[in-house]
Amino acid sequence: MNSRKIIVEILDNVIKKGAYSNIEINKRFKNSNINDKDRGLITEVVYGTLKNKKTIDIILGSFVSDVKDIDEKVVNILRSAIYQIKYLDRIPSYAVVNESVNLAKIRAKSLSSFVNGVLRNYLRNLDKDYKKGLTDMESLEYYFSFNSWMIKLFLKQYGKENGIKILKGLNETPYITVRTNILKTTREELLNSLLVEGYDVEKGYISDSAIMIKKGSSIEKNSLYTKGMFTVQDESAMLVSECLNLRYNDIVLDICSAPGTKGTHVGEILNNTGKVLAFDIHTHKLKLIEDNAKRLGIFNIEVKLGDASKFNRQYLNSADKILLDVPCSGLGIIRKKPEIKWTKTLKDLKDIEKTQRVILENAWRYLKRGGEMIYSTCTLNKDENEEIINWFLRKHEDCEVEKINLCKKDNILYNTNGTVTILPNKYMDGFFIARLRKK
């Protein structure tokens, strides 16, 4: 099967129809007999094209009157081709052009000469300075490949130094990280086992449970994974459960749980004591939590169907601890889901805040006096993070922030209200964590 045809079809679904890149790629791999080499190419070109779409469109704009006017049948052929020519050095440019033209002949024969003309024009202008004549903001758009509204948001909320650090970090290629299952092994034992199996691994950046997989075959097909020795999880997300001050026999509510990665971490830390009630609004996702728990050997998790935005009186004042990883705009995980750059709007950010406030209010009522709650997001929008917490503190005199002390790293920001923001880098996603205590 033509890998470039698959690349363009995935890009069409993600950019035009709002599909998720990781789900689209996995769907194609599951339903097609694609070899490892082609899988690698498809993954790299899809993520690379999405990550650099703004830069690529500015380049395309030098050869057409308006990128928006390019026929949708061929626009992603052009984008993916320019990505390969500009960013990949192992594929000869003439081969990229020839395959792109052949694909255009299949999709829209009358436009194949147009595709050929644009790409050959680009090859004649590889040394051109495409930033020439751009404003300062347009230059930032070109260099980091973000829309201007998102650049302005980060610079306004974090200042120039940290704002640029965020833009750079969100463009890093992420390592795969795994969390050691302390019920079955230690990090040292797991490190050694992975080394024996041919993986290039090293200890995580902050978490004592984390291992970075720098090189190796598909980690979720590994027998150690099947035996429940580890869970694939970003290191920032590992810190959420670790910040919850868990004690054996705690009753913990994981309010927005699926697929259960953080909830199973709670179960591991509790050493199968107490109880973790894992809620999700989607019935089909509850099985994901159960399957994860079973694989890891966790028996203190009970899954429940529940809408976090609807208060359930049954759980009033019932929890010692609450893990509240709320739905958010996801601006901190653009490293892994680059389409967020193009699918999110300022309106989306404002709309999600309303949901977050409702969920936080409900969850607070489930917490016992003296209990603790973690409020976390995988976004870097302060209005969903510190400002939500400040709003909640003003409204609830029985709430106080317990300061979180992680470590001294240049991507860890300790906010004035006692919360923590993790800036993205090559090791970690962007994240926000607040620990709240009910007096």
Q: Please list the active-site residues.
A: 378
Q: Which two tokens stand for residue 283?
A: 């019935």
Q: Which two tokens stand for residue 59?
A: 């380049």
Compute the Cα dihedral for 215, 221, 226, 230 and give only its sign.
Answer: positive
CB 161 within 8 A of CB 276: no
Which contiguous run of DSSP H or E holds residue 238? Answer: helix 235-242
CB 419 within 8 A of CB 385: yes
Give the separation between CA 163 and CA 430, rounded to whole angstroms: 12
**Burial call 9-18: b when 16+ CB within 10 Å, e when fewer:** ebbbbbbeee
Q: φ, ψ for residue 188 (rounded to 5)?
A: -60, -45
Give the separation between CA 62 and CA 59, rounded to whole angstroms: 6
Q: Which regions of 164-250 does DSSP assign to beta strands (E)?
A: 176-180, 200-203, 210-215, 230-232
Which contiguous run of DSSP H or E holds residue 2? Answer: none
CB 244 within 8 A of CB 221: no
Residue of 56, 39, 58, 46 whose CA lies nearest to 20: 46
Instruction: Quote the DSSP letter at residue 384.
Output: G
Give the separation between CA 282 and CA 276, rounded to whole angstroms: 18
Instruction: Quote the DSSP letter at residue 386.
Output: H
**Burial call 213-239: b when 16+ CB within 10 Å, e when fewer:** beeeeebeebebbeebbbbebbbbbbb
Give the separation between CA 354 and CA 187, rounded to whole angstroms: 40
CB 83 within 8 A of CB 56: yes
The residue with tokens 């929008």 is 381
- Is 382 in a helix, a strand, or coil? helix
- Is 129 in a helix, a strand, or coil? coil
Residue of 27, 409, 9 whose CA lies nearest to 236: 409
